[in-house]
Amino acid sequence: MMVVSRARVTRALLVLVLAVALAACSTLAVLGCRPQLAGGGTGADTGSGSGGVTPGSGGTGGTGGPGGTGGQPPPPADTAFCPLCGAEEPRAALLHRPLAVCVDNQSAARPQSGLKDACLVYEVLTEGGITRFLAFYLHEKATAVGPIRSLRPYLLDLSMALGAPIAFVGGSQAALDDVATLAASALAINEMSYPYPFWRSEARSSPHNAYAGIAELRSASVALGYEPATLSNPTVPAFSFAPTPDKAVLPTGQTVQRFTLTYAAGAGDYSVTYDFDSEAGQWMRYLGRSAQVDAVDGHQLRATTVIVQFVSSSVIPGDSEGRLKLNLTGGGSCRVFCQGRTFTASWAKSGRTSGLTYTDASGKPLNLPPGPVWVLIAPPNSAVTTQ
């Protein structure tokens, strides 16, 4: 039997380790010592390729497209600015489409789950004077969002503007017709036809008991062909954001501590009040006289910026439920509440799939501080009172 000495084994192992190290160094020399990123680009790519862009550098693939998100300086290479709320997040967390979820706001649906985790939330009137939320998620992964309710055509106008797959449970006939006609833009995730990501809570009664998690909705979006597992570039920006609150450039406006929106033609218990928390720099939300909170942890809903967007609406002729048509194409006025003050601004949207833009009195895009944005879409004759 052959006996191999310990010294000979040790020498053999050292030779093997040295060979592997030399091979690795040779490979890095070929790559210019740059780690490969998803999409085939290298870490030094400046935006002209399909991957490895530097967010906000002005290249074609940076966050917010040319010029970055609202003129923010480029973050570190492994982070980027969220185009929906301005938060600096790991770049990988932004390389997919935003997800939009239709969330119930009837009394039987409260408290809701997951609204506190949304980057951007729209609140809109529906039939009967009640309101509904359309919540957008990009980097947060709420484990439960809901209760999820049915789709209306104007909710599609908002989701298509940001290229977002939209999760809902059924819808009006007009909305479902739009989904069929605008399939390539509508990106529907409907529980009625694709139940996988949804579940029903036994603690709530139907129809106020449908929920979904963001991770499950993301998987559904990929499975339905709405996006690859990872996109080369983040989504288009919803707003222009400053890198920090103190660098936000806003009109002076009027100092305000509290404001209340009473929707014209809205049911009485949908009046919403926001109190400004100067320490947090956020607006705390109240529905009627009660704080509106998250069902999971009791966290009060809040926003860094609240925009009251005035949009004309009308009851659809012959609709037995009194469903509404909202005129989101065109433009109009709005009131912005940010950093403890308010000022007037304008909104514009050129088509159903085009983005919404918000500008100040001089025509410049609003430059908001980073943080969640809530947009309350209300009829022009709705009352806004301030204190």
Record the tokens describing residue 22, joined without a space.
Answer: 């030399």
R_g of the chain, CA atoms, integer Å? 25
Mean pLDDT across the chain: 82
Q: What local confidence, expressed as pLDDT, does residue 238 receive?
A: 84
- Per-residue pLDDT tens digits for 168-214: 999 999 999 999 999 999 999 999 999 999 999 999 999 999 999 99
Q: What local confidence, expressed as pLDDT, does residue 129 receive?
A: 87
CA 24 – CA 361 distance, rounded (Å): 59
Q: What local confidence, expressed as pLDDT, does residue 71 receive?
A: 53
Cite the DSSP H helix spans in the chain: 6-30, 153-161, 173-181, 183-186, 214-223
Q: Evaluate the omega torsion of the peptide bond into residue 380 and state whether it is cis, within 30 degrees of 0.
A: no
- Per-residue pLDDT tens digits for 109-158: 999 999 999 999 999 999 888 999 999 999 988 999 999 999 999 999 99
Asked if pLDDT for residue 2 goes beyond 60, the answer is no
Record the tokens describing residue 334, joined without a space.
Answer: 């709005």
* Mean pLDDT of all residues in 353-379: 95
Closest CA to 310 of 328, 325, 292, 323: 328
| Residue the block writes with tokens 């290298």 | 42
CA dihedral 112, 121, 299, 249 (to 10 degrees): -170
- Per-residue pLDDT tens digits for 271-305: 999 999 999 999 999 998 899 999 999 999 999 99
Residue 354 vs residue 4, higher pLDDT: 354
- Per-residue pLDDT tens digits for 44-86: 333 333 332 222 333 323 333 323 344 556 666 789 899 999 9
Residue 245 vs residue 8, higher pLDDT: 245
Asked if pLDDT for residue 35 goes beyond 70, the answer is no
Q: pTM here?
A: 0.80
Asked if pLDDT for residue 1 goes beyond 50, the answer is no
